[in-house]
C-alpha cells in the first residue's frame, strides 16, 4: 500500500522540518510548501490525504487557503496551525471547513492525534446519504454543512423545532466523521431524574451511596472514543452544567465516590428546541457552557420551510409502512403541502401512520389526515373585509402573525425579532404576553 501523502504549508523552515519529521515517523510522506501559491500549485498536481497549514503566510492567510481547498480540492482534510489562544481564528477555520486546529507551541501528541483523525476521514464512510431526506435548498445546505462539521472535532449545537430531525443530524455527524467506529451515545437530558444525574453521567463506585452495589460506568465514559449527544441540553440543571463544563474543558470525569479523575476522549454534540441565547440572557443557562457547546451551530429547518420535501418524506414513511403514496388522493397531497406541521416530521409520520391504519377503502383523503390546525400562516391571514365587524380582533391577528414570523426568522431571538419589527425589546415582550404567544 502507498504511504499516505501530506502537504505541510509554513513559511518557517524549522516548523516545516518538525512537521515533516513527525509525519515521517508516522510513515506518512510529506510535501512542503512555504506560501499559498506554492500550496495551490501542489494541491492541483497531487492527491493529498491531508494538509496542515500555518495561518500567516507571506502571500495570504491560512483561512483563504482553507476556503480554496473546499472549492478546488474538496476531499482533502485540512487542519490549521494557530497562534496560542487564538480561538476566534480557529473557530473561523472550522466554520470554513477545516476539520481541526492545532495551537502553537506544537504539542507532538496532539499533533499525532490530529493527523490520525485526518487519515481516518479518507476511509470510506459507512453513512448512507439517503438517510436525511430532502431536495429543498435548506436541506441540501444542511447536508453539506453536516459533511463539513463531521470532519472537525469541534462541539456542534443543533437547534430546531421538535421533530425536525435533530437526533438524526447528530447521528449523521457522528457516522460521517473520524469517530464513526466509536460509540454514539445519545442522552435525553430532560429524562434523567435530578438526583441520579451525576451518577448516570459520570458513573459511581461501589458503596458511593445506598443502592450503589457495584461500580458503574457513566454515560460519559461509555462515549469514550466516540460522541456524546446531549439532547435537550436546555433541561440540564445549573449544577450539572458546571460539572459538564469541566468534562468538556478537561476531558476528565470523576465517578461519584471515586478518588481520582479518569481521562476521556469524547466529542460533544448537543441539541435543543429552546432558545439557548435567551436562556443565557435570563440566567437559566450558563454562558460559559453555552460558548463551549456552541462553537458551531446547525439549524435544522422546520418542515414547512422545506417545500415539496414533505411529499418525499411522506413517500418514505408510506413505504416503511408497507404502503405507497398512491393511496393519498389529490386533496390529501394538497393539504400536506400547505399544512404548517408544528410537530414537523414526527407529526407527519404519526399522521400517516394513523391514516394508513384507519383508512377503509385503500384511499386517504384530506379528512383522513385529521389536521389539528389551520394551514400555514401565510394562507391563514384573515381577509380584510371580514375584519370590519371585529377590527380589534383583526389587528391582533395581523400583529400576532407579524410577531410569530419575526420570531421564526430570528430563531426565537427576541432582541433580533424586536429590531426587525421596529419595536423595543420591552414593547415586544409586552405584546408577546398580551397576545398569549408561546
Ligand atoms: N430529513 C429527514 N429524512 C428522513 N427522516 C427524517 C428527516 N427529518 C426527520 N426525520 C424523522 O423524523 C423523526 C423525528 O426526528 P428526530 O427524533 O431526530 O427529531 P428531533 O428534532 O430530535 O425531535 P425532538 O426535538 O422532539 O427530540 C425521526 O423518525 C426521523 O427519522
Instruction: Give yes or no for a cis peptide into 23 (omega within 30° of 0).
Output: no
- Does residue 199 line the site of ligand 1, with CB under 6 A? no
Measured CA to CA, the distance from residue 328 to residue 174 in angstroms comes to 35
- The topology (CATH level 3) of 5-121 is Rossmann fold (3.40.50)
More confident residue, 125 or 410: 410
Q: What does the pLDDT read at residue 160?
A: 94
Q: 182-185 long-range CB contacts below 8 Å, 24 or more apart?
A: 182/223, 182/224, 182/225, 182/226, 182/227, 183/222, 183/223, 183/224, 183/225, 183/226, 183/227, 184/223, 184/226, 184/227, 184/229, 185/219, 185/222, 185/223, 185/226, 185/227, 185/228, 185/229
- Does residue 165 line the site of ligand 1, with CB under 6 A? yes
Q: What does the pLDDT read at residue 284?
A: 92
- Does residue 62 line the site of ligand 1, with CB under 6 A? no
Same fold flag, 5-121 and 135-299: yes
Q: What is the pLDDT of residues 163-181, one digit of tens each?
A: 999 999 999 999 999 999 9
What is the 240 CA–ligand 1 centroid distance (Å)? 27
- Does residue 94 line the site of ligand 1, with CB under 6 A? no
- The topology (CATH level 3) of 384-435 is Arc Repressor Mutant, subunit A (1.10.10)
**pLDDT at residue 211 tops 90:** no
What is the 293 CA–ligand 1 centroid distance (Å)? 21
- Does residue 268 line the site of ligand 1, with CB under 6 A? no
What are 120's three cell numbers?
481516518
**pLDDT at residue 374 tops 60:** no
Measured CA to CA, the distance from residue 404 to residue 103 in angstroms comes to 43
Q: What is the pLDDT of residues 133-169, one digit of tens each?
A: 999 999 999 999 999 999 888 999 999 999 999 999 9
Q: What does the pLDDT read at residue 127?
A: 41
Q: What does the pLDDT read at residue 383?
A: 38
H helices of 192-342, in order, are: 197-202, 219-222, 238-250, 276-281, 287-293, 309-320, 330-338
- At residue 3 the predicted structure's pLDDT band, cuts being 50, 70 and 90, is confident
**pLDDT at residue 347 tops 90:** yes
- Does residue 273 line the site of ligand 1, with CB under 6 A? yes
Closest CA to 285 of 232, 227, 223: 232
| CA-nearest residue, atom 8 of ligand 1 | 165
Looking at the CA of residue 133, tell me the nearest atom of ligand 1.
Answer: 3
- At residue 128 the predicted structure's pLDDT band, cuts being 50, 70 and 90, is very low
Distance of CA 209 to the CA centre of its chain: 36
- Does residue 35 line the site of ligand 1, with CB under 6 A? no
Distance of CA 367 to the CA centre of its chain: 36
Classify 260 as helix, strand or coil. coil
Q: What is the pLDDT of residues 61-111, one digit of tens each?
A: 999 999 999 888 877 899 999 876 677 788 788 878 888 888 888 888 888
**pLDDT at residue 396 tops 80:** no
Measured CA to CA, the distance from residue 218 to residue 313 in angstroms comes to 36
- Does residue 164 line the site of ligand 1, with CB under 6 A? yes
CATH superfamily of 135-299: P-loop containing nucleotide triphosphate hydrolases (3.40.50.300)
- Does residue 301 line the site of ligand 1, with CB under 6 A? no
Specify the residue for cell string 453555552: 290
Closest CA to 153 of 87, 226, 104: 226
Looking at the CA of residue 272, tell me the nearest atom of ligand 1.
Answer: 25
**Neighbouring C-beta atoms of residue 220, cutoff 10 Å:** 26
Q: Say which residues have a Cβ less than 8 Å from residue 145's Cβ, sequence separation at least 6.
A: 298
- At residue 393 the predicted structure's pLDDT band, cuts being 50, 70 and 90, is low
Residue 47: enclosing H or E segment and its boundaries? none
- Per CATH, the number for 303-369 is 1.10.8.60
What is the 286 CA–ligand 1 centroid distance (Å)? 27
Residues in the chain: 438
- How confident is the model over 39-60, as a mean pLDDT? 93
- At residue 378 the predicted structure's pLDDT band, cuts being 50, 70 and 90, is very low
Q: Say which residues have a Cβ less than 8 Å from residue 263's Cβ, sequence separation at least 6.
A: 251, 252
What is the 202 CA–ligand 1 centroid distance (Å)? 28
What is the 49 CA–ligand 1 centroid distance (Å)? 34
Cβ-count burial of 148 within 10 angstroms (0-12 exposed, 13-18 middle, 19+ buried)?
A: buried
Q: What does the pLDDT read at residue 377?
A: 46
Q: What is the pLDDT of residues 321-330, one digit of tens each?
A: 888 878 899 9
Measured CA to CA, the distance from residue 103 to residue 292 in angstroms comes to 17
- Does residue 292 line the site of ligand 1, with CB under 6 A? no
Q: What does the pLDDT read at residue 35?
A: 95
Measured CA to CA, the distance from residue 90 to residue 24 in angstroms comes to 26
Residue 304 and residue 160 in contact, taking contact as beta carbons nearer than 8 Å: no
More confident residue, 259 or 409: 259
Q: What does the pLDDT read at residue 123?
A: 61
What mean pLDDT value characterizes the chain? 86
Q: What does the pLDDT read at residue 133?
A: 93
- At residue 372 the predicted structure's pLDDT band, cuts being 50, 70 and 90, is low
| Candidate of 164, 186, 269, 272 to mutate for ligand 1, largest count of ligand atoms within 8 Å of Cβ | 164
More confident residue, 159 or 213: 159
| Candidate of 159, 160, 167 to mutate for ligand 1, largest count of ligand atoms within 8 Å of Cβ | 167
Please report, for the chain, the start and end positions of each structural domain, with discontinuous segments joined by +: 5-121, 135-299, 303-369, 384-435
| CA-nearest residue, atom 18 of ligand 1 | 165
**pLDDT at residue 428 tops 50:** yes
**pLDDT at residue 130 tops 50:** no
Name the packing angle between helices 344-358 and 309-320 (round to 10°): 50
Amino acid at each position: 500500500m502507498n504511504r499516505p501523502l501530506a502537504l505541510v504549508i509554513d513559511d518557517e523552515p524549522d516548523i516545516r522540518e518538525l512537521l515533516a519529521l513527525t509525519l515521517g515517523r508516522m510513515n506518512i510522506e510529506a510535501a512542503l510548501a512555504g506560501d499559498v501559491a506554492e500550496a495551490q500549485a501542489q494541491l492541483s498536481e497531487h492527491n493529498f490525504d491531508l494538509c496542515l497549514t500555518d495561518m500567516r503566510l507571506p502571500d495570504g492567510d491560512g483561512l483563504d487557503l482553507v476556503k480554496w481547498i473546499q472549492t478546488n480540492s474538496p476531499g482533502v482534510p485540512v487542519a490549521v496551525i494557530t497562534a496560542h489562544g487564538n480561538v476566534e481564528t480557529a473557530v473561523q477555520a472550522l466554520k470554513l471547513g477545516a476539520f481541526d486546529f492545532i495551537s502553537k507551541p506544537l504539542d507532538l501528541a496532539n499533533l499525532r492525534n490530529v493527523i490520525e483523525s485526518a487519515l481516518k476521514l479518507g476511509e470510506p464512510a459507512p453513512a448512507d446519504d439517503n438517510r436525511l431526506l430532502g431536495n429543498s435548498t435548506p436541506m441540501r445546505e444542511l447536508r453539506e454543512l453536516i459533511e463539513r462539521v463531521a470532519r472537525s472535532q469541534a462541539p456542534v449545537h443543533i437547534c430546531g423545532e421538535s421533530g425536525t430531525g435533530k437526533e438524526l443530524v447528530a447521528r449523521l455527524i457522528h457516522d460521517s466523521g473520524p469517530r464513526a467506529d466509536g460509540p454514539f451515545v445519545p442522552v435525553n437530558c430532560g429524562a434523567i431524574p435530578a438526583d441520579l444525574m451525576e451518577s448516570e453521567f459520570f458513573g459511581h463506585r461501589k458503596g458511593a451511596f445506598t443502592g450503589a452495589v457495584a461500580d458503574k460506568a457513566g454515560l460519559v465514559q461509555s462515549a469514550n472514543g466516540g460522541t456524546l449527544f446531549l439532547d435537550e441540553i436546555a433541561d440540564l440543571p445549573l449544577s450539572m452544567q458546571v460539572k459538564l463544563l469541566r468534562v468538556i474543558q478537561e476531558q476528565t470525569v470523576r465517578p461519584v465516590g471515586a478518588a481520582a479523575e479518569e481521562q476521556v476522549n469524547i466529542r460533544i454534540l448537543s441539541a435543543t428546541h429552546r432558545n439557548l441565547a435567551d436562556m443565557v440572557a435570563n440566567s437559566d443557562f450558563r454562558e460559559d457552557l453555552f460558548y463551549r457547546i456552541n462553537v458551531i451551530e446547525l439549524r435544522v429547518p422546520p418542515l414547512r420551510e422545506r417545500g415539496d420535501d414533505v411529499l418525499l418524506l411522506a413517500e418514505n414513511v408510506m413505504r416503511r409502512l408497507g404502503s405507497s403514496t398512491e393511496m393519498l388522493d389529490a386533496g390529501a397531497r394538497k393539504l400536506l403541502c400547505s399544512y404548517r406541521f408544528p410537530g414537523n416530521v414526527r407529526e407527519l409520520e404519526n399522521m400517516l401512520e394513523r391514516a394508513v391504519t384507519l383508512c377503509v377503502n385503500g384511499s386517504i383523503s384530506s379528512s383522513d389526515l385529521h389536521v389539528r390546525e389551520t394551514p400555514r400562516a401565510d394562507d391563514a391571514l384573515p381577509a380584510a373585509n371580514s375584519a370590519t365587524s371585529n377590527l380589534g380582533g383583526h389587528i391582533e391577528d395581523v400583529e400576532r402573525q407579524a410577531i410569530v414570523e419575526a420570531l421564526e426568522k430570528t430563531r426565537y431571538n427576541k432582541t433580533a425579532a424586536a429590531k426587525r419589527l421596529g419595536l423595543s425589546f420591552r414593547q415586544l415582550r409586552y405584546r408577546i404576553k398580551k397576545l398569549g404567544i408561546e
